[in-house]
Amino acid sequence: MSTLALLFFPAAMAFAASSDLLTMRISNKLVLLLTAGFVVLALVIEMPLQQFAMHLLCAFVVLVVAFGMFAMRWIGGGDAKLAAATTLWLGFGLTLPYLVYSALFGGALTLLILVFRSLPAEALTMRFPWLARLHDPKQGVPYGIAMAVAGLITYSNTAIFERLVG
């Protein structure tokens, strides 16, 4: 049970990254699953109510800010929801490192995609719809990849991880 619980968040992050890469979408079902998974595991580890409330508040603050960014068309709606669901797991203490990692990995990812888009579209690229979409300069950047990597890096410091391992 604890192994499955421990792997839940990493598996969800891997799915978010691959989904964003292949489809440029982050499913609402995945965001809801991440949210429900946090609630269940917080109950399993008997997270103190005050700490649980602070995690909820953190996620709410991130959701409000991220939806403001979405309204300005700086990020996608799926990215906004994924950021909130991820910070629900992290809480205030790990949100700043998560956001910094997301920005750094997102910047690197954006540069890689810009280089990829500057290359000629080869037949191989066009045979795979996700590569063609990634090559299209009219498309956005699958930022969920950077957010997932950042989430995975910070996960080992979360209350849930520490309680399940320790």
Domain residues for 20?
Answer: 2-165
Distance of alpha carbon 17 from alpha carbon 12, whole angstroms: 9
pLDDT in 10s for each residue of the chain, 166 residues? 588 889 999 999 999 999 999 999 999 999 999 999 999 999 999 999 999 999 999 999 999 999 999 999 999 999 999 999 999 999 999 999 999 999 999 999 999 999 999 988 876 677 888 998 999 999 999 999 999 999 999 999 999 999 999 7
Number of structural domains (the chain) is: 1
| Closest CA relative to residue 19, chosen from 78, 97, 64, 74 | 78
Question: Do the Cβ atoms of 119 and 51 come closer than 8 Å?
Answer: no
**Which amino acid appears at position 88 of this protein?**
L
Distance CA 57, CA 51 (A): 10
